[in-house]
Amino acid sequence: MPPPARCPLSPQSGIDEVAPRPSKRMGVRRGRLDSSLFHMLVLVCALSQVLFVGLVTGQTAQLSVDASSQNGRTIPDKMFGIFFEELNHAGAGGLWAELVSNTVQVTGFEAGGINTPSNIDPWLIIGDESNIIVETDRSSCFASNPIALRMEVLCGATGTNACPSGGVGIYNPGYWGMNIEKTKVYKVSMYIRSSDSVDLAVSLTSSDGLQNLATHTITAEKGDFAGWTKVEFDLQSSERNTSSRLQLTTTKNGIIWFDQVSVMPSDTYMGHGFRKDLATMLANLKPRFLKFPGGNYVMGNYLLNAFRWSETIGPWEERPGHFNDVWNYWTDDGLGFFEFLQLAEDLDACPVWVINDGASLNEQIPSATIAAFVKDVVDGIEFARGDPKTTWGSVRAAMGHPEPFPLYYISVGNQECSKPYYKEKYVKFYSAIKASYPDIKIISSCDISSISAVNPADLYDVHVYTSSGDMFSKTRMFDSTPRSGPKAFVSEYAVTGNDAGRGTLHYGCPNYWMLHFFKDSSGATLHPLTIQVSNYDQLAASALTWQNSNDGNTYLKIKVVNFGNKAVNLNIAVAGLENGIQEFGSIKTVLTSGWLRDENSFQQPDKMGVIVDPYSLTSFDLLLDTNTDKYPLLESSFHSSM
């Protein structure tokens, strides 16, 4: 089988853009301005408490862009991507579409512990102790998941000990309530065992159980479920309810065991188990790489709870799951190593695997005994890239993906350069990986000052967590970094502290919309520019030429960050244009705290007068005419109020 297509990631030691300050309130405004000379995209990220403070006297600035091709630099085509970590239920209860929640296990009953009876939270009982007893025991048919739930119903359909109307049973509230949509189909599966006859209603209901959205009845004669039996069916909801639950009820006396209960939407992203809405939002960012499965999540507080790739593959019922002790919740690893690789493929992004190098936040495996961890990583690469006839490649093929995944980037550890043994262990991982897969690029946790011939690396990982003011001061962080040698990989960054909002909006946080301004930068041409302004150091800008893959149009994108509290009258001059600027086809989008459908408009086709608040990121996309014979080198200018 020919090797998979290469998936190069070449972050360069330079920044062409700057993240704005997050906001607490935002709205989106969009309008198509066919009569305008300019195509403009505007993002306003302002703290809500600042929006209502009177602006100080406006500032004037001059921005000069050299848009000539000879002075432009090509941005690596894998420059911008995304990083995933299982925290705050980003996977379990988020991107992974499973609706059944469990702090003990998402679909089984493991994390209450191996001793039974154990905690069944968040499953709850419908009925009371006079008519139902629910407990866990070690009767599951899965060796890696031995805990099952035993439900003993003491009441019956009729007689003096009749069950309450609607029956008794158990229910699962999902993660903060299940979002059930009208007419949507949900795939339900579970394992059942019972020596008795069975008459069980499986329903999607409102959170109080009073509104029935969909029901399927499982019936069986005595002995039909004497052994563990997998039952699968579809439920189609008749109504919409954003805070629903799954309930299993009966009015029949007897004992039923349950295990591996699952409810999944039928229309997941690419059919691979990811929530369509959230995965689509990721795809809209056009990420060129996906780093996974996390930072501290990879390590765990203790190695007992670290992410182990080989325990997250194969049939989901047989995955043991593990306690995410860093972020304090159980994960069943339905979103495992295979699924991360699949997600990268679905997003057309390069997978970047962060490996556990024998370290947790509180433990370190010495270099002398690290060999087993090294072999485990090499085996993981074989799972991703190996021929279907290899040991681990055959496991991947059995999961439905005989073609290898293009895994070409491995990040060794997470923020561990200062830990004992890291550098010694790193060299062993580096050597073993390069020996078997010389084309793989290795990312070190150490910065460039620690990388040498005896401690080599292709890239070095950079994490930035700081205040918004300090983040803005890093706009030229990599300007003096050598362009030869290992490349900087800024894989984690966030504004923290008291001078920024939390960015916790329901529909895409401010940081998400900010990333849209970078989605077209990979592979674009970066142009030099200068900013001239007196007594005001709160502006940063970039300019690049990019091509829209959907319509083939070429644009000159100019982005400007105004981090200060002054409105700025910005004069922008562009020299060296080899193409004219189109007169039609412009679009303007504003992300702000205004009314959703508000629209701005251009009054003059040859000038731009745009007023945005301080603490903002503004982007102008100028549609260029691709008829190079029509225009000589051009110089253009326009005016903007910021």
Report pLDDT for 118: 79
Question: Of 442, 477, 492, which marks where a domain is finished?
Answer: 492
Tell me the pLDDT band of 482, cut-offs 50, 70 and 90: confident
Report pLDDT for 586: 55
Q: Is residue 45 part of a domain?
A: no
Beta strands in 286-362 (DSSP E): 289-292, 322-324, 329-331, 350-355
Question: Helices 371-385 and 337-346, interaxial angle, to 10°?
Answer: 40
CATH code (residue 452): 3.20.20.80
Mean confidence (pLDDT) of the chain: 83
Q: Which residues pair with 229 in a beta bridge?
A: 192
Contact between 75 and 524 (Cβ < 8 Å): yes
Q: Indicate if 282 and 176 belong to the same structural domain.
A: no
Q: Is residue 440 part of a domain?
A: yes
Q: Which residues pair with 124 in a beta bridge?
A: 171
Tell me the pLDDT band of 337, cut-offs 50, 70 and 90: very high
Two tokens, residue 595:
């009314």
CATH code (residue 607): 2.60.40.1180
Two tokens, residue 87:
């925290």
Is the pLDDT confidence value at 8 over 80?
Answer: no
Q: Which residue has the tokens 């490349």?
A: 487
Report pLDDT for 514: 80
Is the pLDDT confidence value at 529 over 60?
Answer: yes
Tell me the pLDDT band of 279, cut-offs 50, 70 and 90: very high
Report pLDDT for 113: 53
Is the pLDDT confidence value at 368 over 90?
Answer: yes
Q: Is residue 119 part of a domain?
A: no
Is the pLDDT confidence value at 424 over 90?
Answer: yes
Q: What's the rounded Cα separation, in Å, for the pair 461 and 298? A: 15
Q: By mean pLDDT, which of 11-15, 101-105, 364-368, 567-571 is the weakest?
A: 11-15
Q: By mean pLDDT, which of 27-31, 112-116, 342-346, 558-562 is the weakest?
A: 27-31
Q: Indicate if 328 and 364 belong to the same structural domain.
A: yes
Is the pLDDT confidence value at 366 over 90?
Answer: yes
Report pLDDT for 583: 66
Q: Indicate if 131 and 72 belong to the same structural domain.
A: no
Q: Is residue 510 part of a domain?
A: no
3-state secondary structure (DSSP) of residue 610? coil
Tell me the pLDDT band of 311, cut-offs 50, 70 and 90: very high
Q: Indicate if 301 and 249 belong to the same structural domain.
A: no
Q: Indicate if 223 and 286 belong to the same structural domain.
A: no
Q: Is residue 256 part of a domain?
A: yes
Tell me the pLDDT band of 585, cut-offs 50, 70 and 90: low
Sign of CA dihedral 499, 501, 503, 504: positive
Report pLDDT for 270: 97
Contact between 332 and 323 (Cβ < 8 Å): no
Contact between 248 and 188 (Cβ < 8 Å): no
Is the pLDDT confidence value at 299 over 80?
Answer: yes
Q: Indicate if 158 and 299 belong to the same structural domain.
A: no
Q: Indicate if 178 and 309 belong to the same structural domain.
A: no
Q: What's the rounded Cα separation, in Å, for the pair 6 and 602? A: 45
Q: Is residue 183 part of a domain?
A: yes
Report pLDDT for 229: 97
Is the pLDDT higher at 332 or at 390? 390
CATH code (residue 219): 2.60.120.260
Q: Indicate if 399 and 275 belong to the same structural domain.
A: yes
Q: What's the whole-model pTM score?
A: 0.86
Contact between 258 and 190 (Cβ < 8 Å): yes
Report pLDDT for 45: 26
Domain of 235 in residue numbering reads as 124-265
Q: Indicate if 208 and 276 belong to the same structural domain.
A: no
How many separate domains does the chain show? 3
Is the pLDDT higher at 523 or at 504? 523
Report pLDDT for 108: 53
Report pLDDT for 622: 80
Q: What's the rounded Cα separation, in Å, for the pair 215 and 504? A: 35
3-state secondary structure (DSSP) of residue 341? helix
Tell me the pLDDT band of 611, cut-offs 50, 70 and 90: very low
Q: Indicate if 298 and 407 belong to the same structural domain.
A: yes
Q: What's the rounded Cα separation, in Å, for the pair 337 and 381? A: 11
Report pLDDT for 16: 34
Question: Of 265, 293, 315, which marks where a domain is finished?
Answer: 265
Is the pLDDT confidence value at 429 over 90?
Answer: yes
Tell me the pLDDT band of 114, cut-offs 50, 70 and 90: low
Report pLDDT for 503: 56
Tell me the pLDDT band of 597, cut-offs 50, 70 and 90: very low
Q: What's the rounded Cα separation, in Å, for the pair 250 and 225? A: 16
3-state secondary structure (DSSP) of residue 269? strand
Contact between 528 and 66 (Cβ < 8 Å): yes
Q: Specify burial of residue 42 (Cβ count, 10 A radius: 0-12, 13-18, 19+).
A: buried
Report pLDDT for 31: 35
Tell me the pLDDT band of 521, cut-offs 50, 70 and 90: very high
Q: Indicate if 283 and 224 belong to the same structural domain.
A: no
Interval 156-212: pLDDT, tens: 988 889 999 999 999 999 999 999 999 999 999 999 999 999 999 999 999 999 999
Interval 218-252: pLDDT, tens: 999 999 999 999 999 999 999 999 999 999 999 99
Interval 70-109: pLDDT, tens: 999 999 999 999 999 999 999 999 999 999 997 544 345 5
Is the pLDDT confidence value at 307 over 70?
Answer: yes
Question: Of 248, 265, 282, which marks where a domain is finished?
Answer: 265
Q: Indicate if 277 and 323 belong to the same structural domain.
A: yes
Is the pLDDT confidence value at 334 over 70?
Answer: yes
Q: Is residue 47 part of a domain?
A: no
Q: Is residue 52 part of a domain?
A: no
